[in-house]
């Protein structure tokens, strides 16, 4: 038989790949189906191609220089949008870099999903030493609200749906989603793949408070002689701005905003008691907490700060938050929108305002303190101090109330919080519940990306150092971010000395006279060296006008700060004398 007459070999069936999909695309499609349009991440094995494909499919992919900042960006995006922010990382070290942000998001009750690629399960589980080997699911679990792993392409839809629901429902928080390398390349029939995806319906369902809980709360509030409302960042997150305003204004009760609740009502509101904070905390008899926990930031609801006995009404979505530090007389459990609107409805139209004796005493203290502050702000010392620099920034923010302020540091944080008034909801992002340094550039990038508004990041020089390399990211995406580094030559200040007398500087001291502005210039942004409030204001106004990435190195008196700002007392003090 000649070759020509040999029967052709039986054709091996060739799969029609045009009707196939893969893990890469199923993840992208599942995210898009759920209106997730942005990913913050850092590429590498096994997710490099995923980032390219996501970009090709119309998802905005913001690439960072370190995963912690991508994670912080995802967390801030979650807080601002009420959609889970997505952070994407490589395995083990990339995952761990992102994990701090995931834990911080969970602590702050911000919804985010950390998606990390991972190595092969069969090798990881036998600890045979795979590339970037780590049992990431087990590591993540105790540090977030929920953790899931997807092993099969047909389960991607369920995995993403569960992650979204876990992040958004009830008390929001961080979720970890583990996607092993092999999953991305798995293929399946495209139509079956499409059917496997889930569009999450009502991911953060309203939780209506029980009618009797609302009644109990209103009865308590009605009997109050010295009532106070405390707004926390949960209230800002809830986006129930009109109801919160109605509750405050219809009740006539003075209120205090926690730092990220500033601007829910303008800080200049006549009912704001911020300038009489210690007085109202000590003197109030009934306190309404709305989306604020009685944690260390509120001295656990007891002790000297809180003065005499008081009763609490607490509005929160998490029933187990109640009684966590002190007895809560009237818990109102539900989502803030539903709870506050029920309170407003229950108050009716003829609610009696608090006694004038109380509101008058607050106004008196406020006026006195504000006058004192105005005097301090009007001084113009050389070198600049925190007050004179912030007096300049305060005026710029007043003129641009839509700008987002990001704020970290110790003294820089405390002074900015009390000096720079906020006028609109969710315009202030800061170190949150942990008092964590390093959120600065990640939060700034997210704020610029999701709001499109000017961002002003007011940073201690130490705080800035944690995420400083991301100025390249800010330049790369040409974001309207103006970073102001309060440069006082060190952590808290620059005057500490080496008590051992050796050549090293003290642990809190940095290079003197550093030029952080040059870092921004290195990547094509605008750098400004400012030594007076006038130079600072001019540069900030120009940054906002031009929208160009800008870094202002604001030289602050290195003796102006105090150790740990306002929380010096938290430093352990030994009474033992050193021999």
Q: Is 462 in the site for ligand TZD (CB under 6 A)?
A: yes
Q: Which stretch binds ligand ADP (CB under 6 A): 20-28, 195-203, 289-297, 341-349?
A: 289-297
User: Rounded to the nearest 10 degrees, what angle do helices 386-399 and 356-378 cross at?
Assistant: 110
| HSE-up of residue 516 (Cα within 13 Å, Cβ side) | 31
Q: Is 111 in the site for ligand TZD (CB under 6 A)?
A: no
Binders of ligand ADP among 172-231, rule CB under 6 A? 172
CA–CA separation, 241 vs 406, rounded Å? Answer: 21
Q: Give, in degrees to the nearest 5, the angle at Cα 570 between 566 and 572.
A: 140
Q: Is residue 192 within 8 Å of residue 253, measured between CB atoms?
A: no
Binders of ligand ADP among 312-371, rule CB under 6 A? 316-318, 321, 335-336
- Which structure tokens are listed for 244? 């919160």
Residues in the chain: 579
| Closer Cβ to ligand ADP, 66 or 262, answer by number | 262
Residue among 438, 440, 442, 549 that touches ligand TZD (CB under 6 A): 438
Q: Which residues pair with 45 in a beta bridge?
A: none
Q: Which stretch binds ligand TZD (CB under 6 A): 365-373, 405-413, 419-427, 471-479?
A: 405-413
CB burial readout 242-278, b (16+ within 10 A) else e:
ebbbbbbeebebbbbbbbbbbbbbbbebebbbbbbbe
Give the phi and the psi of residue 483 in degrees, each rounded to 5. -95, 130
Residue among 43, 346, 383, 435 that touches ligand TZD (CB under 6 A): 435
Size of the site for ligand TZD (CB under 6 A): 18
How far CA 518 is from CA of 114, 383, 521, in Å, comes to: 33, 21, 5
- Residue 566, classed as helix, strand or coil, is helix
Residue among 46, 232, 460, 549 that touches ligand TZD (CB under 6 A): 460
Nearest distance, CB of residue 14 and ligand TZD, angstroms: 55
| Closer Cβ to ligand TZD, 117 or 465, answer by number | 465
- Partner interacting with residue 322 (select from ligand TZD, ligand ADP, none; CB below 5-8 Å by kind): none
CA–CA separation, 555 vs 531, rounded Å? Answer: 5
Q: Is 486 in the site for ligand TZD (CB under 6 A)?
A: yes
CA–CA separation, 407 vs 459, rounded Å? Answer: 6
- Which structure tokens are listed for 25? 């695309």
Q: Is residue 288 within 8 Å of residue 261, measured between CB atoms?
A: no
Residue among 147, 292, 390, 484 that touches ligand ADP (CB under 6 A): 292
Q: Which residues pair with 316 in a beta bridge?
A: 333
Nearest distance, CB of residue 575 and ligand TZD, angstroms: 24
125 Cα distance to chain centroid: 34
Q: Which stretch binds ligand ADP (CB under 6 A): 115-123, 253-261, 394-402, 532-540?
A: 253-261
CA–CA separation, 174 vs 512, rounded Å? Answer: 39
- Partner interacting with residue 425 (select from ligand TZD, ligand ADP, none; CB below 5-8 Å by kind): none
Residue among 79, 237, 386, 443 that touches ligand ADP (CB under 6 A): 237
Q: Which of 65, 62, 89, 90 is nearest to 76 (CA)?
A: 62
- Partner interacting with residue 491 (select from ligand ADP, ligand TZD, none; CB below 5-8 Å by kind): ligand TZD
Nearest distance, CB of residue 105 and ligand TZD, angstroms: 14
Nearest distance, CB of residue 485 and ligand TZD, angstroms: 9
| Closer Cβ to ligand ADP, 297 or 361, answer by number | 297
Q: Which residues pair with 400 in a beta bridge?
A: none
- Partner interacting with residue 318 (select from ligand TZD, ligand ADP, none; CB below 5-8 Å by kind): ligand ADP
Q: Is 99 in the site for ligand TZD (CB under 6 A)?
A: no
Nearest distance, CB of residue 390 and ligand TZD, angstroms: 11
Give the phi and the psi of residue 220 in degrees, each rounded to 5. -65, -45
Q: Is 383 in the site for ligand TZD (CB under 6 A)?
A: no
Q: Is 461 in the site for ligand TZD (CB under 6 A)?
A: yes
Q: Is 410 in the site for ligand TZD (CB under 6 A)?
A: yes
Residue in the shown chain whose Cβ atom is closest to ligand TZD: 460
Q: In this structure, how many other beta carbons lie within 10 angstroms of the beta carbon of residue 56?
A: 10
CB burial readout 392-421, b (16+ within 10 A) else e:
bbbbbbeebeebbbbbbbbbbbbbbbbbbb
Residue in the shown chain whose Cβ atom is closest to ligand ADP: 234
Nearest distance, CB of residue 556 and ligand TZD, angstroms: 7
Q: Is residue 87 within 8 Å of residue 112, measured between CB atoms?
A: yes
Residue among 65, 121, 149, 171 that touches ligand ADP (CB under 6 A): 171
- Partner interacting with residue 98 (select from ligand TZD, ligand ADP, none; CB below 5-8 Å by kind): none
Binding interface with ligand TZD (CB under 6 A): 409-412, 435-438, 460-463, 486, 488, 491-492, 561, 565
Binding interface with ligand ADP (CB under 6 A): 108-109, 171-172, 232-234, 237-238, 258, 260-261, 291-293, 295, 297, 316-318, 321, 335-336, 433
């Amino acid at each position: 038989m000649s070759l020509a007459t040999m029967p052709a070999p039986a054709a091996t069936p060739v799969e029609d790949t045009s009707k196939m999909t893969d893990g890469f695309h199923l993840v992208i499609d599942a995210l898009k189906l759920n209106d997730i349009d942005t990913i913050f991440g850092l590429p590498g094995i096994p997710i490099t191609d995923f980032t390219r494909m996501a970009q090709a499919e119309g998802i905005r992919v913001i690439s960072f220089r370190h995963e912690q900042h991508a994670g912080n960006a995802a967390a801030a995006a979650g807080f601002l949008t009420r959609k889970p922010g997505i952070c994407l990382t490589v395995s083990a070290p990339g995952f761990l870099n992102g994990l701090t942000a995931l834990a911080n998001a969970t602590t702050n009750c911000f919804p985010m999903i950390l998606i990390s690629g991972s190595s092969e399960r069969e090798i990881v589980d036998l600890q045979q030493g795979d590339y970037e080997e780590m049992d990431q699911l087990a590591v993540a679990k105790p540090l977030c609200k929920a953790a899931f792993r997807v092993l099969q392409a047909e389960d991607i839809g369920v995995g993403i749906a569960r992650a979204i629901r876990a992040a958004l429902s009830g008390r929001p928080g961080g979720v970890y989603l583990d996607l092993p390398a092999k999953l991305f390349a798995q293929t399946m029939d495209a139509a079956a793949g499409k059917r496997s995806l889930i569009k999450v319906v009502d991911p953060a369902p309203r939780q209506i408070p029980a009618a009797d809980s609302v009644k109990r709360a209103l009865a308590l509030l009605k009997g109050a002689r010295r009532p106070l409302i405390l707004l926390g960042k949960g209230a800002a997150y809830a986006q129930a701005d009109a109801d919160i305003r109605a509750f405050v204004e219809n009740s006539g009760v003075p209120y205090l905003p926690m730092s990220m609740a500033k601007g829910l009502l303008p800080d200049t509101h006549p009912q704001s008691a911020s300038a009489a904070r210690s007085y109202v905390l000590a003197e109030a008899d009934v306190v309404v907490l709305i989306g604020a926990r009685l944690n260390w930031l509120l001295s656990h609801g007891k002790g000297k700060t809180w003065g005499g006995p008081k009763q609490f009404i607490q509005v929160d979505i998490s029933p187990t938050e109640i009684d966590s530090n002190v007895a809560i007389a009237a818990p109102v459990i539900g989502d803030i929108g539903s709870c506050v609107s029920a309170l407003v409805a229950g108050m009716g139209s003829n609610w009696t305002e608090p006694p004038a004796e109380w509101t008058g005493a607050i106004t008196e203290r406020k006026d006195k303190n504000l006058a004192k502050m105005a005097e301090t702000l009007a001084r113009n010392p050389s070198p600049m101090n925190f007050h004179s620099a912030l007096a300049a920034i305060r005026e710029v923010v007043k003129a641009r109330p839509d700008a987002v302020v990001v704020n970290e540091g110790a003294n820089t944080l405390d002074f900015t919080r009390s000096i720079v008034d906020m006028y609109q909801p969710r315009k202030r992002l800061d170190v949150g519940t942990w008092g964590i340094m390093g959120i600065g550039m990640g939060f700034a990038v997210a704020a610029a990306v999701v709001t499109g508004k000017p961002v002003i990041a007011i940073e201690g020089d130490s705080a800035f150092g944690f995420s400083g390399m991301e100025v390249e990211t800010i330049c790369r995406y040409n974001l309207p971010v103006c970073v102001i580094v309060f440069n006082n030559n060190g952590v808290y200040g620059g005057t500490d000395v080496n008590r051992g007398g050796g050549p090293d500087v003290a642990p809190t001291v940095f290079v003197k006279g550093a030029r952080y502005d040059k870092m921004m210039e290195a990547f094509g942004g605008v750098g400004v060296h400012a030594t007076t409030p006038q130079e600072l204001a001019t540069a900030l106004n120009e940054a906002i006008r031009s929208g160009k990435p800008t870094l202002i190195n604001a030289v602050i008196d290195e003796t102006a700060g105090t150790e740990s700002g306002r929380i010096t007392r938290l430093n352990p003090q030994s009474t033992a004398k050193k021999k």
